[in-house]
Chain A
């Protein structure tokens, strides 16, 4: 298979280069990392839609190639299994995000709004954002209908009972480089600091490493 060319992929673009060459194997590795990170992080992470799109394209291409092969060709089944594997990876990743979006929908929409105001990177893809808005609207509609018989009742509405992810959850991680001074969050002002060695595996509160997960210095396992 030939190398793929993609534009602005933050994680790997090196300085001024517009085009970066990465191999399909590297894309898959990135997808796998995005998948486990999403699976184990309590909150929703910045989307990796560039990688998802590349994988989806690759699936389409491979499926077209498979069709051309005769069914007696041994390699056909190997390719098919690879396609299935990729499809599982992408689907599972997207499903996990969807479930978080549904569970924490109001929280996620609020945070996203703040990010837009600040002008910082959006976490949801356009499609996910659309889904989140619609989902939240359907929930609100439903609860308005169920609760509307009560005039003057202290307003406990769907949208002000927010479910938040528990970012104090403990996570396992593997470090991709040496990191110094990670705070061990005990809720104290003066928290202890630890250094994480390159390649070491650590169990730690997600709060302490959320930023490291997002910028790719560590990898949840």
Chain B
């Protein structure tokens, strides 16, 4: 049945919320081929109807095929678009460096887009005000200056703004300025304890 591949592609993406499945190059290629094939079929039929002056009802066939192509294109567009949207969220949540296993799910073009978006965003943040504003922190309204956090991984050295250096070990607890550890909480290095 026409359009089944597109449907499968979209369903696969819709099912995985908050997580990006591997780029399905195989199915994308399949759909591309279908588009190409249908285009060629239409060319042949159109040519024939001009040459042989046969009944106009072949135009109906062409109309059906055009509808199928439109659908296929929509599925491809939506697939790529929604993946970029997800990547965008990842830029905000993971920062400009993606974990290797997520990166391996992306196509080359997507990795390229991600770094372009990252750069764009960094440029914009630098351009605000006198010396730029980092928009990827201060995500929640502040309640207290210092918060208690527990370290979830062996992170290594961490420099604080006042010049001291901490060694962050797994399960160690720290009492730190909120604005300095927020990004690490978002990235899952720290856990905020109340």
B32 touches A102 (CB 8 A): no
Q: What 0/1 readout, one digit per residue, does chain A (68-107) give for beta carbons within 8 Å of chain B?
A: 0000000001001100110110111011001000100000
Q: Which residue of B lies closest to A101 (CB)?
A: B124
Q: How large is the interface on A (under 10, 10 to 19, 20 to 34, 35 or more residues)?
A: 35 or more
A80 touches B35 (CB 8 A): no
Q: Which residue of A lies closest to B79 (CB)?
A: A146
User: Which applies to chain B's interface (DSSP): helix, strand, loop or mixed?
Assistant: helix
Q: What 0/1 readout, one digit per residue, does chain A (145-182) give for beta carbons within 8 Å of chain B?
A: 11101111110101001000000000000000000000
Number of CB contacts from chain A to chain B under 8 A: 102
Residues of B in contact with A (beta carbons under 8 Å apart): 32, 35-36, 39, 66, 69-70, 73-74, 76-77, 80-81, 84, 88, 109, 113, 116-117, 120, 123-124, 127-131, 133-135, 137-142, 144-145, 178-179
User: Which applies to chain A's interface (DSSP): helix, strand, loop or mixed?
Assistant: helix
Assembled-state Cα–Cα distance A75/B134 (Å): 26
| Minimum distance in angstroms from A102 CB to a CB of chain B | 7
Assembled-state Cα–Cα distance A122/B133 (Å): 22
| Minimum distance in angstroms from A36 CB to a CB of chain B | 13
A81 touches B35 (CB 8 A): no
A135 at interface, CB cutoff 8 A: yes
Stretch in contact with the other chain, from A1-9, A12-20, A52-60, A209-217: A52-60
Partner of A95, one of B32, B81, B116, B135: B135
> What 5 A-B pairs come out closest when comparing CB atoms?
A56-B129, A84-B142, A127-B127, A131-B124, A88-B138
